Chain A
Amino acid sequence: MSIDSVKIEQPGKKVLLTGNEAIARGAIEAGMKYATSYPGSPSAEVLDVLAKVGNPFGIYAEWSTNEKVASEAAAAASFAGIRSMTIMKPDGLNVAIDFFTSLAYSGINAGMVVVLGDDPSAHSSIKEEDSRYLAKLSRLPILEPMNIQEAKDLTIKAFELSEFIGLPVVLRGVTRICHASGLVTLGDIEKAKAPVKAELKEKFLCQPLAHPELEQKVKKAALWAENNNTIEYSGPANAESIVIATGPCALYAKEALIELGLTDEIGVLRLKMSWPLPDKTLLGYLKGTKEVIFAEETDPFIEEGITSLVAYHGSEIGPIKFFGKRNEYVKGPMGAGIGELNTDILIDTLAEIKGIKRPDYSGSTASCVEHVCGSIPLRDRAFCAGCPHRASYWAIKAALSLDGNNGFVLGDIGCYAMGRGPTGYNMLSTVHSMGSGVGLANGFGTMQRFDFKQPVIAVVGDSTFYHAVIPALINAKHNSAKFLCVILDNSTTAMTGHQPHSGSVIDARGVDAPALSIEKIISGIEIPYTIADPYDVNDTIDVILAKLPEPGPKVLILRQECVLLKSKVGKNQKMYIDQTLCLGSKCGCGDLCSRAFNCPANINAPEQGKMIDQALCVGCGVCATLCPTHAIKLVEGS
């Protein structure tokens, strides 16, 4: 599994790829030339890969400022006759939705694929949104790969479908596709080498009169689904019970049936395309079926589509008993429609429906987790050792306590969203979408007439600043909203894997690019700003205290590079603890470094007392600044 495998020119060769790499490979094989994205987990690597390997294939790849711009740029390539791709997570589709609902009306030219990385169970997201509803709203047909091979193959199919109907097509990956790895048989990439020429020859106007044509395109997509084997059935002929599944849930269902010994009784009908549905083919399978169990993540999307279809055709196909999320048969530990499905959940579901005893089996997810992770201690989500965000939150916490006026902090999306938890001293009062902290601050900051007196701080990341904060700051300036916007500038898009952003000196391909200065933009909006180093905690506290009472919007840029980037270059300082000075848990300290400040590199060892974990410590020196007895010291000459 390596990024180089993505560009191998040996059709028929089997290589190990991640789902994200497979999607990138599929795009290359399909002759896609123009890719845009704003990084979002789990699909962030698709553009990373395309940017790194795309050059020989003439592929343009960019990290865009936000998903709306990314989608618009990709659509322009399609308009100009070039196959394009834009990659985002559901939160990104929310940002771009206004464009997509319009794009449906104007239509497109060359194939355009929207890769949506949904994150059921929200492993690396703030919510587990099922993007299919918005895709449907924008009339984007949705393809859902079941495994890694299909991630590649359906990507190619998506381009074909897109050009067939003249609309963008969604390829929906989930975390277990994007981040999983599997063997992929490579296809021909001859097509990728063919030169392309961009030229705009038609008009693409969104207008209400286009609506009938759009609905015809949707019908055409359904017809395509009928004719392109988008439904796959495995199981006994004329089974009375079937599981209808999408994506990897089909695999979970098959495994569950094997464990339950029900493979001769229950079939699995898998939909590669979850919208629009191939009604005719589906009805063919449903006729004679008595029971249908739905397996999909996370919302009852095909469940609603198919039960509605059956409602229209009840008299032709006879009564069917449905088991899904609506009647809460299919549900994980958190409830129906919440979290990922897996084999265990489907075993429970099928056992309950069939009234049989759940088997003990060694391959259960729980026992696998126990086997692999049994000895790993639980730990909270936490900032890395030396993360500047920890120092920033400590300073904000101290400043608000000292200010003593019940000030609060509005959060945003990024590593620093963990400021809601113990690692960020539970500082955040709100977390919503990109830029929303500053938007909310606009509201709080203009409520003085309602006797609102609390100081307001909004924290944003540098990448978020470019993405969605600038309009909110413009609003704040124009309406004199009183708050302090703290930009936690770690010089990268850290959470999703250090992608460059509009303030970076290189672009997605590693080529020199003009870096936009945050402070120059803020100067342009005429908002006063200060730049401080969050590692200098005491100075940062003073700056915040001084800024809070000032009228109108203020900006504080807390600038310190992400430690993960820094540690790649090698650390420059080593710390140690002078045990003769360390107070430990006694009065006067009370375990400041390991308990209160809570940096993972500060260890409280039962025998040795306080220690620095040299493997983790990056030598930021913040604990040394905070240590009340100056017991934490710099190793001279390190």
Chain B
Amino acid sequence: MEITISSKRLQQEVIQTELCTSCGMCIGLCPYIKSFKEKTAFIHQCQVDDGKCYNICPRGETDWPQMDQEIFGKQRTDHVLGNYNQLLFARAKESDFSQKGQYSGLTSALVSYALSIGEIDGAVLSGGEPGKMPEPTLATTRDDVLAAAGSKYSAVPTLLSLNKAIEEGFKNLGVVGRPCQVLAARKMQLRYNNPSDLPGNKIKLIIGLFCFWALSPEFYEFLAEKTKGANIASLDITTEDLVVRTNGEELKLPVENIRRFICPTCQQCFDPTSEFADLSIGSTEFDPGWNTLIIRTDKGRELIEQSIKDGIIEVYTYPAERIPLLLQAVGNKKKRVLEEWEPTYLKLNESYHRAVERGM
């Protein structure tokens, strides 16, 4: 018999199968779902059919072509990067952002700018000190944004802050998140926006990050052990190394050392570049002074155009010779997911499968 109670479905299909991405979108929607140490827990059985918790879950059944249709009004032609408008190199012009942020600090600069022009009244970010378990934060000022700058490498349930901010009365919220969080926020935005007081209507800007995997919180115990408790100034994970800068020292560990902390659900992630975001931002794997920027929606394009005009960021043509490398990394990941896992949450049409056969 098909289960209709949403919380039961969520537990059976997502929590018990370790597919939960700890995005945080369901946390705080009701009194029964809570989060502790980046794990989502049900504290009591709920009896609601068709509840939000399952409907907004990024690992709940997701019709990918339908998402494309609803967000972009069209199907994708690029099965690797999804629907997009422009692929660019971009960087924040102000040194505050590049110093505190990851690479050029593009994301922080854009969020800070969106707040300053009133495009958004609050931004949901992953904050906290480098090397410590991050915390979901709500930023309303440039200082708040700077305080939360820098990549976080574990599955912080950032979106619980989104629910909290909506409850507190914020009306135009920005979200910066991992691809799973982008999908969750997008589901909320598309499915719960009418009448206008519904939460989906309060989500105005979604910036997605590139993400190939997130780590479980045990990673922080490992870090503390490796750094012998020293204060960590910054963290970076490149394709080869984990780079930890403590005060005055740089520790480089082969990335293989941390693979065991990768969350199991990340292996089944079909979306390394936040395909449903307004803007997707990642590293260039090439020049630490720049970020990769994918402009996907009109809303994203407008923000970029305006921020260039106001001198906040600058963009540069994506080097043609780098494009195949990006496509290969992303394409291989997606192909692997489909071939090795055949995730049950993914509903794809024939064109996707043909694309995989072609090598994406």
Contacts and interface: CB of A to CB of B under 8 A. Distances in A.
A397 interface: yes
A585 B36 contact: no
Contact of B47 (A595, A626, A627): A595
B218 to A, nearest CB: 13
Contacts of B41: 401-402, 404
A301 interface: no
Contacts of A200: none
A609 interface: no
Contacts of A398: 34, 43
A565 interface: no
B224 interface: no
Interface string A350-389: 0000000000000000000000000000000000000000
A573 B68 CA distance: 54
Given A397-B43, A397-B44, A404-B39, 5 more contacts: A404-B41, A587-B52, A588-B29, A590-B47, A590-B51
Interface of A: 397-398, 401-404, 425, 545, 585-592, 595-596, 626-628
Given A587-B51, A592-B31, A628-B30, A402 B36 contact: yes
* Top-10 shortest CB links A-B: A402-B36, A587-B51, A398-B43, A401-B43, A590-B46, A401-B41, A628-B31, A596-B44, A587-B48, A402-B41
Given A545-B36, A596-B32, A587 B50 contact: yes
A397 B47 CA distance: 18
A619 to B, nearest CB: 21
B42 interface: yes
B39 A588 contact: no
B48 A590 contact: yes
Contact of B32 (A403, A404, A590): A590
B30 A587 contact: yes
B81 to A, nearest CB: 35
Nearest to B45: A596
A588 B56 CA distance: 13
Interface in B17-42: 29-32, 34-37, 39, 41-42
A545 B41 CA distance: 13
Contacts of B42: 401
Contacts of A596: 31-32, 44-46
Given A589-B30, A590-B46, A628-B30, A404 B36 contact: yes
Nearest to B50: A587
B43 A402 contact: yes
A588 B44 contact: no
Nearest to B33: A401
Interface of B: 6, 29-32, 34-37, 39, 41-48, 50-53
Contacts of B37: 404
B309 to A, nearest CB: 42
A401 B31 CA distance: 13
Contact of A588 (B30, B34, B36): B30
Contacts of B29: 587-588
A402 B31 contact: no
Contacts of A592: 31-32
> Which of A401, A425, A595 has the most chain B CB within a 10 Å cutoff?
A401
B18 to A, nearest CB: 11
Contacts of B35: 402
Contact of A403 (B6, B36, B50): B36
A588 to B, nearest CB: 5
B3 to A, nearest CB: 15
B216 to A, nearest CB: 12
A397 to B, nearest CB: 6
Contacts of B50: 587
Contacts of B39: 402, 404
Contacts of B53: 587
A397 B44 CA distance: 8
22 contacts: A397-B43, A398-B34, A402-B34, A402-B39, A404-B39, A545-B36, A585-B48, A586-B48, A587-B6, A587-B30, A587-B48, A587-B50, A587-B52, A588-B29, A590-B30, A590-B48, A590-B51, A596-B32, A596-B44, A596-B45, A627-B31, A628-B30
A591 B35 CA distance: 21
A321 to B, nearest CB: 55
Contacts of B6: 587
Contacts of A586: 48
Contact of B52 (A403, A545, A588, A627): A588
A587 B46 CA distance: 9
Contacts of B48: 585-587, 590
Nearest to B42: A401
Contacts of B51: 587, 590
A325 B30 CA distance: 55
